[in-house]
Amino acid sequence: MGFNEKKYKLLFVVFNLKGGGAERVTITLANALANRGHKVTVFLFYNENDYSGELSEIVNVVSVLPKNYKFRYGIGKILRTLLNEVDGNDIVIGGLEGWVSLFSWGVARIKNKVCIAWLHIALAEYSKARWNYISRVFFTLPYSGVDKTICVSDGVMDSLLTFTNTTPLAAVIYNPLLKSHYNEPSVSSPIPVILGVGRLENVHKGFDLLIKAHSKLISKGILHKLVIVGEGEDRKSLEELATREGVQDSVSMPGFTENISEFYRSSDIFVLSSRFEGFGMVILEAMSYGVPVVATDCKSGPRELLCGGEFGELVRSESVEALAQGIKKLLLDKKYRKTLADKGLMRVKDFEPDLIAQKWEQLFNEIGK
């Protein structure tokens, strides 16, 4: 039997489908696998879905807790519902780090099901920024117990090995890109527009660095607008930073939107300013719209996606000056912007959903029972 002939019942487990890159990637892969004949269910801890229009009708959705319900009070209900749902599936895929992977692994072991942990972040770096010691101990457990950990980049794999201090069963499969948007009409602006996209969390996404780089360029007379699309805990501090830097009139933060397309189509340059990443899905999204990319050479993802700088401008991480120089290089050189845009459109072909789904199918047959 060929690697893509057997069909599986697959259970993807995620916290919710609320405004994140990993959540959108889950939808893309779930749709692709369902279209290839697998029975796919997406299990949500919380009934929150910002992407309802993107999820295929042939993908089943099970949600447990209503929005704003206290997590600690709902743990029992989540576990009971998940235990029941696992019975009807062949493979459990813990789609996020932390509680999702921990619960998925534990329930799969109780039910003797194959379990895959899907890791989207540089775990060593993320854990230092977001988890206390006890959380790091507990959230390490799945990666030495699951049948396979799928890392979205080589950098994520390296970080996993550092985090666990062991050699877990792991492999790298890149994330799928929903589709190319190059044929969609662009929206021009008399003043160049720089775009950043992501959760407003400075410890991760580094939008404070981006605002400072923007300010540095404005002070030198290099006019442009900065738009940061997303929502998060650091909105107020970023607004205050823009005011202190004197660029509040040229910085726009419109919040989260389902229609991100309009922002990509009206942008001249996309900038990823992250302090660390797992993959950097927004890089692919920008390139799919024909938008050239400037990205920090952070851990991990950008260097792999941009092939060391062949498909985008890589700059030193944690450096406002380097970020400003990278943006300036593209702002002042339209020919270079066009070259990177054309190369980016070629690069995104490597991430078509059907190609990535085939790699997952091969994995299922390697570890499926």
Q: What percent of the chain has pLDDT over 90?
A: 74
For residue 182, give the DSSP letter. Answer: T
Q: HSE of 13 in the Cβ direction (CA atoms, 13 Å)?
A: 30
Comma-separated ranges of CATH 3.40.50.2000 domains in the chain: 9-176+352-367, 193-350
8 A C-beta contact, residue 23 and residue 14: yes
Q: Give this prediction's pTM.
A: 0.87
Q: Residue 254's CB: how many other CB atoms inside 10 A?
A: 11
- pLDDT score recorded for residue 2: 45
334: exposed, middle or buried (Cβ count in 10 Å: 0-12, 13-18, 19+): exposed
Q: Which fold has domain 9-176+352-367?
A: Rossmann fold (3.40.50)
Q: Residue 266's CB: how many other CB atoms inside 10 A?
A: 17
> In sequence order, what are the residues at sequence separation of 6 or more whose Cβ sits closer than 8 angstroms to the Cβ of residue 133?
none
- pLDDT score recorded for residue 190: 86
- pLDDT score recorded for residue 141: 87
Residue range 27-75, pLDDT digits in tens: 999 999 999 999 999 999 999 987 777 889 999 999 999 999 999 999 9
DSSP-H helix ranges across 141-273: 154-164, 202-205, 207-219, 235-245, 261-265
Lowest mean pLDDT among 46-55, 214-223, 225-234, 265-274: 46-55
Does residue 165 carry a pLDDT above 70?
Answer: no
Residue range 107-126, pLDDT digits in tens: 999 999 999 999 998 887 87
Grade residue 353 by pLDDT with cuts at 50, 70 and 90. very high
Which residue has 């790298």 as its token pair? 172
8 A C-beta contact, residue 107 and residue 92: yes
C-alpha to C-alpha distance for 174 and 304, rounded to whole angstroms: 10
Q: Is the dihedral of CA 336, 338, 341, 346 positive or negative?
A: negative
C-alpha to C-alpha distance for 171 and 81, rounded to whole angstroms: 29
Residue range 308-344, pLDDT digits in tens: 999 999 999 999 999 999 999 999 999 999 999 999 9
* Mean pLDDT, the chain, whole residue set: 91
The listed CATH number (3.40.640.10, 3.10.129.10, 3.40.630.10, 3.40.50.2000) that belongs to domain 193-350: 3.40.50.2000
- pLDDT score recorded for residue 161: 85
Closest of 319, 314, 193 to residue 251, by C-alpha = 193
